Homo-oligomer: A and B are copies of this chain.
Amino acid sequence: MFKTRKLWSTCLIAATLPCSALALTPRESDATQAAAIHTLPEFVEFLKLPNVMHKSTADMRKNADWVEAAFKRHGFEARQLPDGETPMVFAQAPGASPKRKTVLFYAHMDGQAVFPKDWDQADPFQPVLKQKGIDGKLAPIPIEKITKGGAVDPEWRLFARSAADDKAPIMMLMAAMDALKAQGKTAGINIKIIIDSHEEGGPPTLKDVVQNNLELLKADAVVMLDGPMHPSNKPTLVFGHRGGMGFDLTVFAGNNDAHSGHFGNFLPDPSFALAHLLSTMRDMDGRVLIPGFYDGVDMSPAMKKILAAVPDDEAAIRARIGIARNEKVGDNYQEAMNYPTFNITSMVSGQPGSRRSVIPAFATASVSSRTVPGTPPGRQIALVRKWVEAQGYHLVESEPTDDERGKFPLIAAIRGGGGMPALMTPLDAAVGKWAAAAFADVFGQDPIRIPIMGGGVPTRPLADGLKVPILLIPLVNADNNQHAANENLRLGNYKTGVESLYALFVAKFTN
């Protein structure tokens, strides 16, 4: 172990933690380091498997086969759970005991769509390793530095789709098991794992898979390994997440794209109409102007205090995402996450790039509205529909008829609107205490507690199906560009992630 330990020092890896705070024994620390380094070549191979669900179910089956085989290699019992063309994967540590609590860990192997031209590398499925140069900029270094063993700098980053979201935790689970075996230890919990294939795309099928495997998946708590850590990179426990609903808002104008010369100033312009409608919905500070939209948000003094305790560096967040001024929904970043959102994920009219001289027939904004426990999706979409109608629009369910076009000056459609409710587990639930104790033990400090994180994860099928508390434990760096171009994992997070899971595996879970 000596070699490994020298190459990847625990103090370096923890990065933001004082070296002396680490409470794993030296041998344990060696074991987790070794497991992390030894699994990196496999992780690189895993990232080479394209995993865009709605692009290729065949691709996803290859991921499932790989994941099942990998769990088996690392000492788990594993099998695929039928899910149409794209199975999920179930794994469990052998030797479960009724005397121990059972924790079901969740992660997903599918990733968001990729647009290679937006990436700094040719192929988002050919992982690229990068290191900061003396100019402070990340530049590629040979991938062999992690696939052939050798020193690993915690500040190196591995760029690929799903490097962070969410293949990293899958590989970390396997590495943590390697460390457990290397230590000859018995886990303090019964370990079950489910790997989703439909988190980012395709029709969500987790609900059916859970219902069809209730006994298999039965657990005392669920730990979801998804989403980024607090930007401070300090150990983070998240007790809930926003829900969400999405819809397309389309404003109709003429019955066809029409020549902008012969009809300009006569035919209404749908892009401008959409712009006017959108600008009635939100102000320039990001505050939604639709009446009732924020009703039910918990901004009690107690909640405000909890949110204020999270050590956010907002100036750093602004610098990282490249803005001089943030939106003003809530008094700080955590409050912002505890309000429902109203964002446009894409907008289109005409044929961008075509340079056709036309007034398009319609313009569409695809809206993503994240919800919080007090603002259920069904109520929110109803408020939006009512507001659009109050602006004078006649709402249609499909392409307007000639009669409708001749009758209504303003015509719009709102399509979609279904969504997942938000979730929040009480901050004093047993699963939270178990995880906090494990983290305090390994990192020597209490983890950050976040009541609701901004993004959504598919907790509902697990919460409804298994009826147990759910805790979210994010392990990857906050600046991972998840869902976007240049997604990346900071390798220091890979190592602390393995340590965190090892600590959870060995910690005793009591009521």
Residues of A that sit less than 8 Å from B by CB: 54, 112-113, 115, 118, 201, 227-228, 241-242, 244, 246, 253-269, 271-276, 278-279, 281-282, 284, 286, 317-319, 321-327, 329-330, 333, 336-337, 339, 341-360, 363-366, 368, 370, 400, 402, 405-409, 453-456, 478, 481-486
24 interchain pairs (CB within 8 A)?
A: A113-B351, A228-B262, A241-B261, A256-B485, A259-B454, A259-B455, A261-B370, A264-B343, A264-B454, A265-B454, A266-B326, A267-B326, A269-B343, A271-B278, A271-B365, A272-B279, A272-B281, A272-B343, A322-B402, A323-B409, A324-B405, A346-B350, A346-B351, A355-B366
If A259-B482, A271-B278 touch, whether A352 touches B358 (CB-CB below 8 Å) is no
| A330-B353 Cα distance, complex, nearest whole Å | 31
Q: Are B352 and A346 neighbours in the complex by a CB distance under 8 Å?
A: yes
Q: Are A345 and B355 neighbours in the complex by a CB distance under 8 Å?
A: yes
If A261-B244, A359-B343 touch, whether A256 touches B405 (CB-CB below 8 Å) is no
The 8 closest A-B pairs by CB, nearest first: A261-B455, A255-B322, A346-B350, A264-B341, A271-B344, A265-B336, A275-B278, A348-B352
How far, in Å, is A377 (CB) from chain B's closest CB?
14
| A426-B212 Cα distance, complex, nearest whole Å | 81
Q: Are A260 and B368 neighbours in the complex by a CB distance under 8 Å?
A: yes
Q: Are B259 and A484 neighbours in the complex by a CB distance under 8 Å?
A: yes
Across the interface, name the chain B residue whose C-beta is closest to A478: B262
Across the interface, name the chain B residue whose C-beta is closest to A257: B484
Q: Are A353 and B358 neighbours in the complex by a CB distance under 8 Å?
A: no
Q: Are B323 and A267 neighbours in the complex by a CB distance under 8 Å?
A: yes
Q: Are B346 and A260 neighbours in the complex by a CB distance under 8 Å?
A: no
| A456-B259 Cα distance, complex, nearest whole Å | 10
How far, in Å, is A198 (CB) from chain B's closest CB?
13
If A321-B256, A323-B405 touch, whether A366 touches B350 (CB-CB below 8 Å) is yes
Q: CB-CB < 8 A to A265: which residues of B?
A: 286, 327, 329-330, 336-337, 339, 341, 454
Q: Are B343 and A260 neighbours in the complex by a CB distance under 8 Å?
A: yes
| A276-B406 Cα distance, complex, nearest whole Å | 29
Q: CB-CB < 8 A to A400: which residues of B?
A: 322
Q: Are B263 and A454 neighbours in the complex by a CB distance under 8 Å?
A: yes
Across the interface, name the chain B residue whose C-beta is closest to A348: B352
- Which listed residue (B118, B246, B276, B368) contacts A279, Cβ 8 A? B276
Q: CB-CB < 8 A to A261: which residues of B?
A: 241-242, 244, 341, 370, 453-456
| A483-B228 Cα distance, complex, nearest whole Å | 48
Q: CB-CB < 8 A to A228: which residues of B?
A: 262
Q: Are A256 and B481 neighbours in the complex by a CB distance under 8 Å?
A: yes
Q: Are B272 and A115 neighbours in the complex by a CB distance under 8 Å?
A: no
How far, in Å, is A299 (CB) from chain B's closest CB?
13
Across the interface, name the chain B residue whose C-beta is closest to A115: B351
| A254-B486 Cα distance, complex, nearest whole Å | 14
| A353-B201 Cα distance, complex, nearest whole Å | 12
How far, in Å, is A136 (CB) from chain B's closest CB?
11
Across the interface, name the chain B residue whose C-beta is closest to A320: B255
Find the residue from A54, A322, A370 having the highest chain B CB count within 10 A.
Answer: A322
| A352-B350 Cα distance, complex, nearest whole Å | 11
Q: CB-CB < 8 A to A282: which residues of B?
A: 269, 272
| A486-B361 Cα distance, complex, nearest whole Å | 14
Q: CB-CB < 8 A to A337: which residues of B?
A: 262, 265-266
Q: CB-CB < 8 A to A246: which residues of B?
A: 355
| A478-B201 Cα distance, complex, nearest whole Å | 45
Q: CB-CB < 8 A to A286: which residues of B?
A: 265, 268-269, 272
Find the residue from A278, A356, A407 having the highest chain B CB count within 10 A.
Answer: A356
Q: Are A485 and B352 neighbours in the complex by a CB distance under 8 Å?
A: no
| A264-B353 Cα distance, complex, nearest whole Å | 28
If A279-B276, A345-B355, A351-B115 touch, whether A268 touches B366 (CB-CB below 8 Å) is no
Q: CB-CB < 8 A to A284: which residues of B?
A: 272-273, 276
Q: CB-CB < 8 A to A325: which residues of B?
A: 268, 409
Q: CB-CB < 8 A to A408: which residues of B?
A: 324
Q: CB-CB < 8 A to A317: which residues of B?
A: 266
